[in-house]
């Protein structure tokens, strides 16, 4: 009896929300024209956003029963399982696709394209989901996912593959963001960490099946068909979640609260399509996002293609984009500070440590991962003599460990109501992880060291990576949750893009000269550099040529990991800067009008450091 009660409260505790008491049939036009959001920006779509958020809260309350919450979580798990399994093995297929184009070294270029598109798409989907609702954007994202998958599977050169990656990435990040928002909408801050772990749980299964799938699929020959089949599999995996949300909506339409909200009109209903499109243009900050994408792309992509067999640092196609990218950086900053009506990164929100610290932490999380593991799959095959099955499982191991530990950690956070102390410990584990990666870079027995590093990384990821989102959400209101979440995911993608550029620059500029030096044959070095997965078929483990290749990989990986290790230190400093409010049984903080961050809550760890610092100052 008590077990049932506890499980019910653990899955979902009721959240009080204000019930709309007055019917609003007509909204005064002057009020619409002068609406100012909490960031101090004019926002004519503010009423529409408020309406969408209130409807989401009403829908969430319809699933207050434990068995309905269990059904909802299971449907979110099925959807997450679809894109999680696809993502884990598509990264492998991308390696084989690049290898088939004789452009293996351009893996980081593809990664940069994916991450920059991901960064922009997050903000688009977040802005639109507050206007059109989560479900509509979920369906749009699935369509993009389908189209991108088809294009990638039929691409016969790296340019067309990157074009498909654009559509696929837009769809993937759209689905991931909407699933995150669905889970956040249906959980209080107290249980938010546990709910946000749901998309990580598929790793428990993927760890064991992904390697078998890759091995059976023979991606060296069949990578195209292996990608294409996901155009049918993934949309099917989304059906349970979509049906669940539709059922929530159906139940919500029968409530008096919903009927009262139906009397309120959205901006589109009062102004029509044309004016709505104009407002969305300014709200989404189209120009700012295009400037950001262009500036980052022009700077980062040339870094990954300038090196290689023939250095191109002095060519116009490298210098031109670099100069343009550097020029666009101050232009982007000027636009956002002076001309943008709705900046994608509102200063009023970013100036508080409760927001800027998690943003920089998320940047470094992806940066460190990309530096240490950007080429890890290839290194496992070439430098550690692992099979496709073993390499795929090792790559998924940290996700598996994180997923196994996450339910325990989620309940620990729910009971203690604090995050910061766990995150500090998780960040310290990153030093151990990168130390192991630095020591085990290639050769006999190195795979065992990487396995150990991945296990520790899984625990670190569980206690650090996932709580970052909740740490940022816990200091703001439900209305700002989508904006904060999208900013976190955007900066995460930018961190990965920057790391991919640096990693690619190190790889392309150091690997070929080292191969040429070790092998002493330009023709062999070119083949080993462009198509390493074909090269190792002809040169087995233990041969002098393979040993020379392994040494070259160890040499380059040393610099890759060293850069990542250096940036773990600022991660720890930033972790000390985050706020640590008590996680409450509500969707978000209750803020006063004009506020966007809760600054009055206690922070035991920060207070302890502050008191010690004051004592030291008095002594000196």
Residue 473, token pair as written in the block: 């959400």
In this prediction, residue 599 has a pLDDT band, given cuts at 50, 70 and 90, of low
In this prediction, residue 548 has a pLDDT band, given cuts at 50, 70 and 90, of very high
What pLDDT sits at residue 294? 87
The number of residues in the chain equals 620
Q: Under a CB-based contact definition with an 8 Å cutoff, are residues 100 and 223 in contact? A: yes
In this prediction, residue 515 has a pLDDT band, given cuts at 50, 70 and 90, of very high
Instruction: Give how far the C-alpha of residue 203 lies from the chain's centroid of Cα atoms, to the nearest Å.
Output: 16
451 and 500 in a common domain: yes
335 and 350 in a common domain: no
Q: Quick check: is 420 in a domain?
A: yes
Q: Which of 343, 370, 386 is the last residue of a domain?
A: 343
> With pLDDT > 70 as the criterion, what percentage of the chain qualifies?
84
Q: Which of 300, 322, 343 is the last residue of a domain?
A: 343
136 and 62 in a common domain: yes
Q: Quick check: is 22 in a domain?
A: no
Q: Under a CB-based contact definition with an 8 Å cutoff, are residues 118 and 493 in contact? A: yes
Q: Quick check: is 7 in a domain?
A: no
328 and 352 in a common domain: no
With a cut of 80, say whether residue 270 has pLDDT above it: no
Integer distance in angstroms from the first to the last C-alpha of the chain?
A: 61
309 and 237 in a common domain: no
334 and 320 in a common domain: yes
Q: Quick check: is 531 in a domain?
A: yes
Q: Quick check: is 446 in a domain?
A: yes
249 and 151 in a common domain: yes
- Mean pLDDT (whole number) for 549-560: 93
Helices (H) and strands (E) in the chain, counts: 28, 0
What pLDDT sits at residue 322? 84
Q: Which of 343, 359, 378 is the last residue of a domain?
A: 343
With a cut of 60, say whether residue 36 has pLDDT above it: no
With a cut of 60, say whether residue 617 has pLDDT above it: no
- Give the integer Cα–Cα distance in Å for 438 and 440: 6
Per-residue pLDDT tens for 309-324?
A: 566 666 777 788 888 8
What pLDDT sits at residue 537? 87
324 and 228 in a common domain: no
381 and 320 in a common domain: no
Q: Quick check: is 441 in a domain?
A: yes
194 and 332 in a common domain: no
Instruction: Give how far Cα 136 sits from Cα of 158, 198, 245, 499, 522, Å.
Output: 32, 22, 11, 33, 55
**Angle 230-252/46-61 helices, nearest 10 degrees?**
90
What pLDDT sits at residue 424? 93
Q: Quick check: is 266 in a domain?
A: no
Q: Quick check: is 36 in a domain?
A: no
What pLDDT sits at residue 292? 85
Residue 579, token pair as written in the block: 């706020």
CA angle 515, 520, 524 (to 5 degrees): 65
Per-residue pLDDT tens for 438-484?
A: 999 888 889 999 999 999 999 999 999 888 988 888 888 766 777 78
227 and 141 in a common domain: yes
With a cut of 80, say whether residue 247 has pLDDT above it: yes
- Mean pLDDT (whole number) for 215-219: 80
**Domain of 161: which CATH number?**
1.20.1250.20
206 and 110 in a common domain: yes
Q: Under a CB-based contact definition with an 8 Å cutoff, are residues 577 and 610 in contact? A: no
- The total number of structural domains that make up the chain: 2
Q: Determine the structural domain holding residue 329 and report its residue range.
A: 285-343
In this prediction, residue 349 has a pLDDT band, given cuts at 50, 70 and 90, of confident
């Amino acid at each position: 009896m008590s077990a049932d009660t506890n499980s019910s409260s653990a899955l979902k505790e009721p959240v009080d929300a204000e019930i709309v008491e007055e019917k609003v049939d007509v909204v005064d036009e002057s009020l619409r024209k002068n609406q100012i959001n909490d960031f101090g920006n004019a926002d004519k779509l503010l009423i529409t956003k408020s309406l969408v958020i209130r409807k989401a809260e009403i829908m969430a309350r319809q699933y207050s029963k434990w068995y309905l919450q269990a059904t909802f979580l299971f449907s979110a798990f099925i959807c997450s399982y679809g894109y999680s399994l696809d993502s884990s093995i598509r990264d492998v297929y991308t390696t084989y696709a690049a290898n088939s184009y004789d452009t293996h070294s351009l893996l980081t270029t593809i990664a940069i394209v994916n991450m920059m598109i991901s960064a922009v798409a997050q903000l688009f989907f977040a802005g639109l989901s507050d206007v059109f609702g989560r479900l509509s954007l979920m369906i749009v994202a699935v369509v993009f996912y389908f189209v991108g998958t088809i294009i990638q599977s039929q691409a016969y050169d790296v340019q067309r593959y990157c074009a498909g990656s654009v559509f696929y990435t837009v769809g993937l990040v759209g689905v991931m963001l909407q699933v995150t928002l669905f889970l956040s909408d249906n959980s209080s801050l107290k249980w938010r960490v546990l709910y946000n772990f749901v998309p990580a749980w598929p790793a428990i299964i993927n760890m064991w099946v992904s390697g078998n799938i890759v091995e059976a699929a023979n991606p060296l020959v069949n990578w195209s068909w292996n990608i294409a089949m996901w155009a049918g599999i993934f949309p099917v995996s989304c059906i349970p979640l979509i049906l669940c949300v539709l059922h929530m909506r159906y139940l919500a339409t029968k409530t008096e609260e919903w009927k009262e909200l139906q009397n309120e009109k959205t901006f589109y209903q009062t102004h029509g399509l044309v004016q709505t499109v104009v407002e969305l243009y300014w709200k989404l900050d189209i120009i700012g996002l295009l400037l950001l994408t262009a500036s980052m792309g022009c700077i980062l992509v040339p870094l990954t293609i300038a090196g290689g067999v023939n250095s191109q640092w002095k060519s116009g196609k490298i210098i031109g984009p670099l100069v343009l990218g550097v020029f666009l950086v101050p232009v982007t900053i000027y636009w956002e500070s002076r001309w943008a009506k709705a900046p994608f990164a509102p200063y009023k929100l970013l100036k508080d440590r409760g927001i800027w610290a998690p943003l920089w932490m998320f940047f470094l999380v992806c940066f460190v991962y990309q530096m240490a593991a950007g080429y890890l799959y290839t290194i496992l095959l070439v430098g550690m003599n692992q099979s496709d099955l073993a390499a795929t499982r090792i790559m998924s191991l940290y996700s598996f460990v994180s997923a196994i530990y996450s339910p325990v950690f989620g309940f620990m956070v729910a009971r203690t109501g604090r995050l910061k102390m766990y995150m500090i410990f998780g960040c310290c584990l990153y030093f151990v992880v990168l130390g192991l990666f630095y020591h085990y870079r290639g050769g006999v027995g190195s795979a065992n060291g990487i396995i150990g590093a991945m296990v520790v990384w899984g625990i670190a990821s569980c206690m650090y990576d996932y709580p970052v989102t909740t740490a940022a959400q816990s200091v703001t209101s439900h209305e700002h949750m989508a904006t904060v979440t999208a900013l976190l995911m955007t900066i995460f993608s930018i961190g990965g893009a920057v790391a991919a550029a640096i990693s690619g620059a190190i790889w392309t500029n150091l690997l070929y000269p080292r191969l040429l030096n070790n092998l002493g044959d330009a023709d062999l070095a070119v083949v080993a550099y462009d198509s390493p997965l074909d090269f190792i078929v002809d040169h087995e483990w233990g041969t002098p040529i393979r040993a020379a290749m392994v040494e070259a990989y160890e040499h380059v990986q040393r610099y890759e990991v060293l850069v990542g290790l250096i940036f773990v230190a600022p991660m720890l400093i930033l972790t000390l800067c985050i706020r640590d409010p008590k996680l409450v049984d509500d969707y978000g903080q209750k803020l006063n009008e004009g506020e966007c961050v809760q600054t009055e809550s206690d922070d035991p760890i920060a207070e302890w450091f502050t008191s010690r610092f004051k004592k030291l100052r008095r002594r000196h």
